Structure 1
Amino acid sequence: MIQDQRGFTPEGNWYKGNIHSHTTNSDGRLAPAEAGRLFKENGYNFLCFSEHDLYTDYRKEFDCEDFIILPGLEASAILCGEDGPHKCLKVHHIHGILGTRAMQEEAGQNVFREREAIRPSVSYGTWDGAGEAGRLCNYLKSRGCITVYNHPAWSRVAHEEFVHTDHLWAVEIFNYGTVNESGTGYDTAGWDRMLRDGKKVFAVAADDNHNGGEFDDACGGYIMVRAGKLTHEDILQNMIAGNFYSSAGPEIYNWEIRDGRACIRAQVSDRYGRTAWTNVLF
């Protein structure tokens, strides 16, 4: 029988964040200040600008009592057709978020510098997909980051090309932007495979917002972190420890394993805005 356990720490506050977003520093429409204001006005407490292959750090500009920035980037490895780079067949997008103080100290001089760009790995015709994912993830870890494998369904990768990757902190199983763009933003099968293989890897929801206006891609997927304070260190420590949940609406207040059964305490809203408490047993 599974050992009894409580899901979240009893102490702390809940902090809401989007860890996957883009601005005019890569292919987004909003400037960083506009994007930060959008999420802050919608009740978010932290935000990561994950520009494509470009590390940014806006903590000095935007951090305040009730809102902080998590520095990071979205790194790429790309498989193109044999006839050139204009035809992208598959892509690994692995998110690097600046880690804890201990992780930064371990990386030393390798910690990313503000506005440091990295060169994507590009293959033509064929590639070692699993090897490319592993190398990219190890590289981001060596630079002091925790890592997330982003939108595997949208990336058109086979499970074997990412499920064996070591040092992943999480897999993005809900991507609000690509759900609305192409119906390719929801994918739990790869994550389930990793868990069944014994990998301890978490699941996250995010927006991947570019704010282009063709479809809604902001404030739809997020994580809620239980932490004592709204600081980079507290948020990252509790993310790494799994003291958080992912959502696109429902609020989860507790989960636990009791007498071999899982119990979730949550609050959900219906289409008319009415809310109700629910206890779900598995």
Structure 2
Amino acid sequence: MNINGFTETGTWYKGNLHCHSTNSDGLLKPDEVAALYKEHGYHFLAISDHDLYSDYRNELGSDTFLILPALEASAVLYEDESKTERLRIHHIHGILGTEEMQKNAEHNLFHHLEYYPPRLFYGNWDGAAVAQELQDDLKKHGCITTYNHPVWSRVREDEFIDIEGCTAMEIFNYGTVNESATGVDSLHWDVMLRKGKKIFAVASDDNHNDGIVEDSFGGYIVVKAEKLNHESIVQAIVDGNYYSSSGPEIFDWGIRDNVAYVQCSSVNRVNFIAGNYINAGGCVVSRSGKDDITEARFALRGNEDYIRVECTDRHGNTAWTNPIFLKGLR
């Protein structure tokens, strides 16, 4: 079996999909936050303010820096109608989809600075049904979606793992990592994958730039696309043709002669995560304790439903591939 984890052609583009501005609870204006990410070598940015869709493509975008129209939609379970305490929350990104998705949208496409009211609940809710309805509505508006920071959101597993139609789950959120250590969650991603869901992952900043915690340039995706334009970048995300990272780089990965392999920047550990049986997968760990691994391999046993790779340096910074789905290929 031979499968490439990335397309053979294309250029690497770095971007942040989760970003806030003064249009919601961020400190920087949209033009200021766009300039900041451009200065730090990013190629694209989704300005995704709370419950407010924005489209700054013409105003802030250029041939070398792409703005993805987006919003972070909300459904909130409050303890009671005083709205003093939030018990759980669904945050789902809607990012403007491909031309075909826009053409086939059942509802009107969102317009610039359109308010998308949060769904509010008190005391109790059917969390799974609420999440699915929110996801479905965003899709009907021509968006791709990501399910954001479930640990921070305090949602129970059964309130989101069966959601259908999400492109990706946010497994690393730099802002909430530094705010309250609630930003890492690959566990529930694997639960979803083991259930047979074909869902990808993203790392992001969730930056507010308010100075309370460090929340910029710590989580991102690196997309391999033919061009730096909306259609190519979004299609690459839909196809899973990218990796997520909090630091390390992944240059190539895939399966060659039934052996999973990865080539990466210097790391301390490589995890080959596989489903679906106990003891599936394997690890390659540096014997020196240093970041001296740049290539690793793992021979597949033939019963894996999927395989994905994590590359982690000695400081704990990680890069994640998306899965290669194997069930049904043999």
- Measured against the shorter chain, the TM-score band is over 0.9
Deviation at 1:82?
Answer: 2.6
For these two proteins, the number of residue pairs brought into alignment is 277
CA distance in 2, matches of 1:116, 1:23: 15
2:207 matches 1:191: no
Q: 206-215 vs 107-116, which deviates more?
A: 107-116
> TM-score under structure 1 normalisation?
0.95
Conserved? CA contact 1:249–1:268, under 8 Å: no
CA distance in 1, matches of 2:98, 2:170: 20
Conserved? CA contact 1:178–1:185, under 8 Å: yes
CA distance in 1, matches of 2:58, 2:106: 21
Deviation at 1:108?
Answer: 6.1
Deviation at 1:260?
Answer: 3.0
CA distance in 1, matches of 2:245, 2:43: 15
CA distance in 2, matches of 1:251, 1:56: 30
Aligned to 1:280: 296
Q: Which has the higher contact order (CA 8 A, sep 6+)?
A: 1
Aligned to 1:179: 177
Aligned to 1:118: 116
CA distance in 2, matches of 1:49, 1:253: 27
CA distance in 2, matches of 1:16, 1:107: 28
Instruction: List runs of 5+ in structure 1 lacking aligned partners.
Output: none
SS at match of 1:30: coil
1:46 pairs with 44, 47, 51, which one? Answer: 44
Give matches, 1:228-239, under 5 Å. 228-239=226-237
Deviation at 1:84?
Answer: 2.4
Deviation at 1:216?
Answer: 0.6
Given the superposition, is the C-alpha separation of residues 136 and 254 from structure 1 closer, same or farther in structure 2, using an over 3 Å criterion?
Answer: same
Aligned to 2:86: 88
Aligned to 2:261: 263
Conserved? CA contact 1:84–1:124, under 8 Å: no
CA distance in 2, matches of 1:22, 1:173: 18
SS at match of 2:150: coil
Deviation at 1:189?
Answer: 1.4
Aligned to 1:149: 147
Deviation at 1:215?
Answer: 1.4
Deviation at 1:145?
Answer: 0.3
Identity rate, percent: 53
